[in-house]
Structure 1
Amino acid sequence: MSVYYFAGASIVAALCIMIVFKIHVDKLKHSPEQMGAILTKFFIGVAFCEVVPILLLVAGFATMQTGLEFNNLLLPLVCIFFSMIIAAVFIFLQTKVDVTQEMRGKVYTFAMIGLSLAISIPFFSLVGLLIQMQ
């Protein structure tokens, strides 16, 4: 059962951070001179979004079983990789839409910050799954 805590944490974290990223990258595209304030609000939004995934990670590590076969880990593993790939593609696509040449650097910087935050929980979920494998 703990393997599904990791998959759930990964999916919830990726979806929430993608939503918060979309809201704030649109604000950054409209007013790139306010990047500091937008980043601050983005980090606050991410902090609220990661409460539930962190609790799911803790529950996953607390109920961890060792010696599971790969067949039992396949579906959660696919979910984790899927959430990582979807988050990365979504964030990189946002850097291509309505971005002028002068604000391209700020949007790419914001995208790299968002990408690192979006794949951090799935990465820890992946580690939690691999620890349980035989």
Structure 2
Amino acid sequence: MEVIKKSDLLKSTYEYKWTIEDGDNPKITGKPDKDRLDRSEGYEMVDFINYICKTFNLTTKKEAFEIEELLQNKVPSNMVMKDEIEEKLSSLLFVKERVKNFVKDKQKSLYESINERFQEGDKKDE
């Protein structure tokens, strides 16, 4: 399943080249077609982002754009091997998910604490 297309990346804040180099095949899906990722090549980015989305069960364009953002800003630019990039993304996504769950738990406990205080205040008023 394709989460993101060329037309989506054309609207991106990042600029890409859309020429096909030797060894690149934009129609290949699944395992990426080359060992190295050129983050300036649009077709490679579309293919790799869709591969990552499939690998990590990401299904929305928002998630795909988050992957693009991570690729462009959080994965070191000297990291070019796709398997290394995939591993780095995996750790970034894991940390992001843990932070999201931590914040959600803190919000929940804060809400419960506030709710308890209101209930205590209601009991004092009786």
TM-score, shorter chain, exceeding 0.5:
no
TM-score, length basis structure 1: 0.24
TM-score, length basis structure 2: 0.25
Q: Which has the higher contact order (CA 8 A, sep 6+)?
A: 1
